[in-house]
Chains A and B, each alone.
Chain A
Amino acid sequence: MSKNVLEKAAFVFATVVIVSAVWFWSLQIESVLDLLEMAYG
């Protein structure tokens, strides 16, 4: 594959990864906060 194709693939892949990771970890943190709220009010 050419450098341009790999660079474009890197841009797309990295964007998808970062957006997905932010969404995924925000859900996990939210569930932990809900759990703490249930436990301690």
Chain B
Amino acid sequence: MDLLPFFEWLDTSILADIAKAYGGVFVVVQTFHLLALSLLGGTVLVGDLRLLGVVMKDVPSQVVIQNTQKWFSVALVILILSGLFQAAAVAMKLYYNEMFWAKMTGLAAGIVFVYAIRRPLLLRFDHDTINPWALRLIAVSSMTIWFTVAASGRWIGFS
């Protein structure tokens, strides 16, 4: 599927006009993007490190996952919306940037992983009944995915 028409549309959209013309608006949106990234990273770290038994050992892991999932979703929505706005400013540059596609691949993999596997397994079933190695692998792969998404996003600036 060729996404070039979408990026060409984004490059000439009103979002791109605003992002290019008003640096102050761009910076404010970028601030929310980074705050949401911090929130997402925080929820991922707290949940996954609890699954690994590193932090908050006195709180059941199921409680930690239940409380962090809602904020994870909030952060993800803010990240996608603010990211779309920022991408509009440099849409064609991003289309030809390999690291941008690495980030998008990681993001897609992360969303599928969270909503199709991690969330159903960890919210529906008692963690004591889940294979401990499955819990450990979920935690490690979750941190790996979201680290890759964040770091490859930063790497776009260097590539």
Question: A residues near B, CB below 8 A?
Answer: 1, 3, 6-7, 9-11, 13-15, 17-18, 21, 24-25, 28
Q: Which residue of A lies closest to B116 (CB)?
A: A9
Q: In the assembled complex, which residues on chain B have CB atoms less than 8 Å from the CB atom of A14?
A: 137-138, 140-141
Give Cα A32 to B96, complex, Å.
20
Give the residue name and chain of the A residue nearest to B155 (CB). Answer: A28
Say whether B137 contacts A11, CB under 8 Å: yes
Residues of B contacting A: mostly: helix
On whether the beta carbons of A17 and B121 are closer than 8 Å, the reply is no
Of the four ranges (under 10, 10 to 19, 20 to 34, 35 or more), the interface on chain B belongs to: 20 to 34
Question: Are A7 and B120 interface neighbours, CB within 8 A?
Answer: no
A14-B140, A18-B141 known; A7+B155 contact, CB < 8 A: no
Indicate if the CB atoms of B138 and A3 lie closer than 8 Å. Answer: no
CB distance from A14 to the nearest CB of B (A): 4
Residues of A within 8 A of B133 (CB): 11
**Listed A/B pairs (9) with beta-carbon separation below 8 Å:** A3-B130, A7-B130, A9-B117, A10-B118, A11-B133, A14-B137, A14-B138, A15-B137, A21-B144
Known: A6-B120, A18-B141. 18 other contacts (CB 8 A): A3-B121, A3-B129, A3-B130, A6-B117, A6-B121, A6-B125, A7-B121, A7-B131, A10-B138, A11-B137, A13-B113, A14-B138, A14-B140, A17-B141, A17-B145, A18-B140, A24-B102, A28-B155
